[in-house]
Structure 1
């Protein structure tokens, strides 16, 4: 029996598709330093890549650019996920257009995103070698069936509607009692790898009557605004990128901006967002632990914490703190996670009151709101 991809004694076989010869050369040179990774091929566009992979064998992980000649990366990704599902890491520059294209790729089943700068690529990749290698090995072990499911069930986003004011209040006919009760509760959610599609699958099932939801999804700067806009077009809830000082209102979802921490503070019966700079926590900014700890302190038993798919252990200790403060807590189960790292650590530490599959989480959130 041969070793599993990325397991002990097995080098992860990687194929690189990028129209830039410089990017291909730098990626090859950087990955060659990792004895656990083997670059088995490179190609300047998807059609060449497809021919080679069909002829020479499929890799364990595909590294794919988004904007390329002859066939764009997203079209190629959808084709791959339909014909031969495998983990795909998107290589994208940090531009507004690139952010939207990358979100489309994640919705189509991509495993993760590598953000490459327009200048200083070699230095950036050399500095990120360890993290990049960890991502590739995690991709090789990922639950590919969930990535393929994302590709099959990706929903087109409707045209954007004007965003409501951050200070908007409930409609005149709304129940003041319901508003008061809702502001006493808060839901905090955290996720990383595989989380963009997992969060979408949860939020689209929820009514607009839930308590305020604060979310940390590990994403680079410039990506979270486009991500929030996409979710807002798909959901009954109002979704937007969090702004410092704004109130968390029932029926709204605030997503931590990439590159900044999100915390929640309470003033009387109201919750407010604090968006802050600061050092990375658990190698991440925003960090799930930062959000969860703040919610444990300001909401205690009036909160629900949910930790979902992702690499590493960010959020595990914060979920423990939430549970110790009296909050209800949920961890996503292994069977429905793309990567089980973060929820597994929370379960191991005793932070998860319940362990639920992805399709069970929306119902649990509605149940919590109705109590």
Structure 2
């Protein structure tokens, strides 16, 4: 079939991965992105955790999504000459006896990814803790601080990147094509994160935005190569000795700015948990494009067949985006079906409502 031209709106994790797979399929594309400094992709730790929540539940589609993500980031890193992903483990400090009991119960059922720490005492040098630790592995850190700028730089060198805010007034959608200013294309695909909740084509989807905050600290004495988790997550962030300390889920918020309350509570937690000195370098906050069902939005609009979406990844963008970006490209090129739980066809009735 003829190669399609695609306008991609947004270069967060979803836009980066979608454009990567477009490039792998030799599709002609251009990205429009305004380079917000406080976007979730630039604020996130890049953590991929195979289990979730207090009940240590294996994440959705883990056996497919996790190996696919690891392979994809390695391939992108190889092309760009950077380390895009690191494999490591999570040292899970049990905050109370009940959480330890829950973890041990899961282990007795031979749940994947979890075990008890074997050489635990060395952690006493660095942390205060009472109830022992578990290990979760493999986990991954995607180095978004390096990956996103490196991909942007590559796209700029190929004239595939326009640095500006997207303006819906300049978009014209017809039955067979789309046009944005002087760019004519077959499709426009929105990877626009939280802005998707106000996107005129997709704002009716059940987004459930939440806010997260993190403090970036310097703690050179902490052993590297691990992610640490107790009442918060401490994840390696960029350079050696730098860690990301977060996160919280705030469902009701006034703005996307960092809060004094989060900073104070995080400092208190760090002061009681860490035995080694640390220095606060930065405080970040961002709003995430989560969804009511905790499943992404992937596919083409039921009424406007040349308007697509890849969004709603929530806190799991780094693990979900590679697989669903690839699926969407396969869907566009070969009409392959999308995963039912992610396909926006499930919301066709909502999206087909007449607009006021």
Shorter chain as denominator, the TM-score bin is: under 0.3
Per residue, is there more helix in 1 or in 2?
A: 1
* TM-score (normalised: structure 1): 0.24
Higher strand share: 2
